[in-house]
C-alpha cells in the first residue's frame, strides 16, 4: 500500500504501463514535494520528461531573477553515465534521482569524485528530499532548530549544491532538548558548517544571516549588530532584505523573545530588512502581536504614506489599555491612550470618514512648532482662508491676526507640517478625516502628528509616549513648542465627545 513519501509516489507511478500516467505521476509527485519544501517557488512544468537537454521543471521565485532547472533522472548511475553534471551543470540545475534503491552506497562515492567543487549544480534523490518533508513527530521545544531547519528546507531546492543524498545534513534533523543553551549553540555551529558545504554562496549567505539573527535572539548577545559599519571587523554584518518567507519563520521566533532583546541596533537591523508592505502581507498568514521593540526602533527608518486616527476599541473597555504596536486589519497599528492609529504605505488603504469636528486654533497650536508648521487651512462661517509660511512669514502670528481681525468663527480644517527629513513630502493633517498623509513619510513623523496634533484632545501620558514613540520627549514634527502668541492662552485640553456633538470649542 503506497505511503505518503515521494519514494512511494514515484514507485506507484513507475508501476503503470501507460507512458502518460508514468510521466504525470512522477512529475506530479515531485511538484508536490517541491511545493511542500519551498512554498514560494513558482514551478513551470515543461513538456519534456527525462530529456537529455530540456529540463522537466523550471523553478522561479518572485522578486528574484534566478531560475533553476530541474532534470528528473531515474537514478544516479544513469545521471553519471550521461555525464549530466559535466554537460548541463553550467546553469547550476538540480538533478533529481527518482529511483534510488541502488544508488547511494555504490554510486555516491564515484559521483562525488566527479563533482567539481565549484559546480553550482545540486544532485539529490527522493529519500533525501523525503527526509526533509516527511512529517516528524517532534515536540515544540522552542529550540533554534525550528526556525533554522524550516529555512534550510525552504532553501534546499533553490540554493543547494553538490551531492545531497540521504544522510547528508542528517544532523540538522535532530532537535536539541528544550532549554539547553549549549545544545542550541552546538546546533547553530553544525548548521553554519553544513550550509557552507551544501549551499551556493548566495543561499549560504542568506542562511548565515538567519543564523546570526537566531543566535542573537537565543543568547541575547547582540554585539554583532552594534558594530560600526566603518570598522574593519572579521565578522561583517550581512545586509540585504529578508524575504517574506524568511520573515514568516524568523519574526515569530524573534517576537517571542523580544523582551530579552533590548538592543535598538539589533531591531533597527531587523527593521532595515523589512518593509511596511511585507508586514501587511505577513499579517495575512501569521499573528503579529507586540511589535513594540521592532517598530519603536524603526520609527525613524520605516516609511509610510498615511496614518488614520480612530478611537481605540480597547479604550472603550479599559481605561488605559497597554500601549502596543500590532498589525490590525492588515495595517500596522499603534494603540495608546484613547487612540488607535493605523499606518499604511498605500494611501488607498484604510478608508476614511469625513464627519469629524473641526478644531479651534488655540486647541492645537501648543502641540505645533514654528519651524515645522508650513500652512494652516482655516474654515469660517462665510470664508475659507489658507495661511502659508512662504517668504519666512510666521504662520502662528498670521493665524492669530486673521482670527482677531476678521469677523468670522474660524476653525482649523487642516494643516501642513514640514517633515524631519529631506526625502519625504510635507505632512497633510486633516481634522475632518482624522488622517495624516505624506509621500514617503517617516513613520515617526506620521505617528507624532497623529497622536500629538490630531489626537490633541486625549494626549498620551509620558509612559505611553515612551512605549509607543520611544522617547519621553517628543521628537517629531510637532515638537519645539513655541511661546504662546500674545492674547492667546494655552488651552486646557477638555474631553469632548466624538459623537458629533461639540464641547472642545465654540
Partner 1 sequence: MPAEKSQETGREGVFRAKQYLESTTHLRLPWTAYDHESMCKRQRLDGSKKVYDLSGHFLGQRRHPLFVEAKKYSVVGGQGGMYTEYLADIYSVTARACQNDMDDEAEFMWVTWHPFSQNNWAKLTHHDYVRDAVKEHAQRLKLPESAGDVQIDDELCRLVSNRLWLLVLSDRQHELVLSPEELKLAMMHLKREGA
**For residues 454 and 428, what is the distance between their CA atoms, to the nearest angstrom?**
11
Among the residue ranges 2-10, 11-19, 34-42, 319-327, the one whose residues contact partner 1 (CB under 8 A): 11-19
Strands 435-442 and 303-311: antiparallel
Spatial contact of 444 and 476, defined as CB atoms under 8 Å apart: yes
Q: Taking CB under 8 A as the rule, does residue 23 contact partner 1?
A: yes
Q: Taking CB under 8 A as the rule, does residue 22 contact partner 1?
A: yes
Residues that contact partner 1, how many (by CB under 8 A):
25
Handedness of CA 25, 26, 29, 32 (dihedral sign): negative
Q: Taking CB under 8 A as the rule, does residue 109 contact partner 1?
A: no
**For residues 196 and 207, what is the distance between their CA atoms, to the nearest angstrom?**
9
Q: Count CB neighbours of 238 within 10 A.
A: 17
Q: What is the radius of gyration, based on Cα positions, of the chain?
A: 30
**In the block, which residue shows the cell 520528461?**
49
Encoded one letter per residue, x for contact with partner 1 by CB under 8 A and - for no contact, window 89-108 reads -xx-------x---------
Which pairs from 45-52 meet CB under 8 Å and 24+ separation?
A: 49/23, 50/74, 52/82, 52/87
Q: Taking CB under 8 A as the rule, does residue 88 contact partner 1?
A: yes
Q: Taking CB under 8 A as the rule, does residue 78 contact partner 1?
A: yes
CB of 87 to partner 1, least distance (A): 6
Q: Taking CB under 8 A as the rule, does residue 113 contact partner 1?
A: no
CB of 101 to partner 1, least distance (A): 12
In the list 24, 77, 141, 358, the residue contacting partner 1 (rule: CB under 8 A) is 77
Q: Taking CB under 8 A as the rule, does residue 67 contact partner 1?
A: no
Spatial contact of 326 and 360, defined as CB atoms under 8 Å apart: no
Spatial contact of 61 and 203, defined as CB atoms under 8 Å apart: no
CB of 67 to partner 1, least distance (A): 12
In the list 12, 32, 45, 49, the residue contacting partner 1 (rule: CB under 8 A) is 49
Among the residue ranges 81-89, 284-292, 477-485, 496-504, the one whose residues contact partner 1 (CB under 8 A): 81-89
Using the minimum distance from each CB to partner 1, give the nearer residue, 49 or 61. 49
Among the residue ranges 34-42, 69-77, 359-367, 451-459, the one whose residues contact partner 1 (CB under 8 A): 69-77
- Nearest in space to 40 (alpha carbons), one of 139, 201, 154, 134: 154
Summarize as ranges the residues that interact with partner 1 (CB under 8 A). Answer: 14, 17, 19, 22-23, 47-54, 74-75, 77-78, 81-83, 87-88, 90-91, 99
Amino acid at each position: 500500500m503506497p505511503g505518503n513519501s515521494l519514494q512511494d509516489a514515484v514507485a506507484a507511478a513507475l508501476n503503470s504501463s501507460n507512458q502518460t500516467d508514468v510521466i504525470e505521476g512522477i512529475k506530479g509527485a515531485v511538484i508536490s514535494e517541491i511545493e511542500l519544501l519551498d512554498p514560494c517557488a513558482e514551478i513551470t512544468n515543461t513538456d519534456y520528461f527525462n530529456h537529455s537537454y530540456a529540463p522537466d521543471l523550471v523553478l522561479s521565485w518572485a522578486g528574484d531573477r534566478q531560475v533553476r532547472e530541474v532534470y528528473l533522472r531515474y537514478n544516479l548511475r544513469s545521471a553519471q553515465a550521461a555525464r549530466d553534471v559535466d554537460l548541463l551543470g553550467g546553469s547550476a540545475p538540480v538533478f533529481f534521482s527518482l529511483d534510488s534503491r541502488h544508488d547511494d552506497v555504490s554510486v555516491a562515492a564515484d559521483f562525488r569524485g566527479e563533482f567539481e567543487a565549484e559546480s553550482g549544480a545540486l544532485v539529490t534523490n527522493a529519500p533525501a528530499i523525503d527526509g526533509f518533508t516527511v512529517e516528524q513527530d517532534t515536540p515544540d521545544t522552542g529550540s533554534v532548530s525550528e526556525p533554522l531547519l524550516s529555512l534550510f528546507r525552504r532553501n534546499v531546492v533553490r540554493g543547494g549544491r553538490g551531492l545531497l543524498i540521504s544522510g547528508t545534513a542528517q544532523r540538522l534533523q535532530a532537535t536539541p532538548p528544550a532549554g539547553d543553551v549549549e545544545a542550541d549553540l552546538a546546533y547553530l555551529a553544525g548548521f553554519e558548517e553544513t550550509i557552507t558545504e551544501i549551499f551556493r554562496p548566495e543561499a549560504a549567505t542568506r542562511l548565515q544571516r538567519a543564523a546570526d539573527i537566531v543566535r542573537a535572539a537565543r543568547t541575547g548577545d547582540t554585539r554583532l549588530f552594534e558594530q560600526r559599519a566603518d570598522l574593519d571587523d572579521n565578522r561583517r554584518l550581512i545586509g540585504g532584505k529578508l524575504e517574506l518567507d524568511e520573515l514568516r519563520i524568523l519574526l515569530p521566533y524573534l517576537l517571542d523573545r523580544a523582551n530579552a532583546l533590548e538592543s535598538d541596533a539589533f531591531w533597527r537591523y531587523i527593521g532595515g530588512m523589512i518593509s511596511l508592505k511585507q508586514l501587511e502581507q505577513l499579517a495575512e498568514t501569521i499573528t503579529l502581536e507586540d511589535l513594540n521593540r521592532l517598530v519603536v526602533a524603526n520609527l525613524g527608518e520605516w516609511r509610510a504614506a498615511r496614518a488614520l486616527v480612530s478611537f481605540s476599541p480597547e479604550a472603550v473597555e479599559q481605561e488605559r489599555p497597554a500601549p502596543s504596536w500590532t498589525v490590525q486589519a492588515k495595517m500596522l497599528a499603534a494603540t495608546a491612550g484613547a487612540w488607535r492609529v493605523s499606518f499604511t504605505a498605500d494611501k488607498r488603504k484604510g478608508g476614511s470618514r469625513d464627519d469629524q469636528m473641526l478644531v479651534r486654533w488655540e486647541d492645537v497650536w501648543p502641540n505645533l512648532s514654528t519651524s515645522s508648521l508650513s500652512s494652516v487651512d482655516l474654515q469660517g462661517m462665510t470664508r475659507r482662508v489658507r495661511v502659508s509660511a512662504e517668504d519666512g512669514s510666521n504662520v502662528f502670528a498670521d493665524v492669530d491676526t486673521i482670527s482677531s481681525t476678521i469677523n468670522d468663527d474660524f476653525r482649523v480644517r487642516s494643516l501642513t507640517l514640514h517633515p524631519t527629513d529631506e526625502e519625504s513630502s510635507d505632512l497633510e493633517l486633516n481634522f475632518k478625516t482624522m488622517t495624516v498623509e505624506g509621500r514617503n513619510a517617516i513613520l515617526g513623523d506620521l505617528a507624532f502628528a497623529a497622536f500629538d496634533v490630531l489626537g490633541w484632545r486625549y494626549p498620551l501620558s509620558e509612559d505611553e509616549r515612551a512605549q509607543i514613540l520611544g522617547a519621553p520627549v517628543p521628537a517629531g514634527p510637532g515638537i519645539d513648542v513655541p511661546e504662546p502668541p500674545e492674547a492667546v492662552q494655552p488651552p486646557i485640553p477638555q474631553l469632548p465627545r466624538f459623537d458629533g456633538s461639540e464641547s472642545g470649542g465654540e
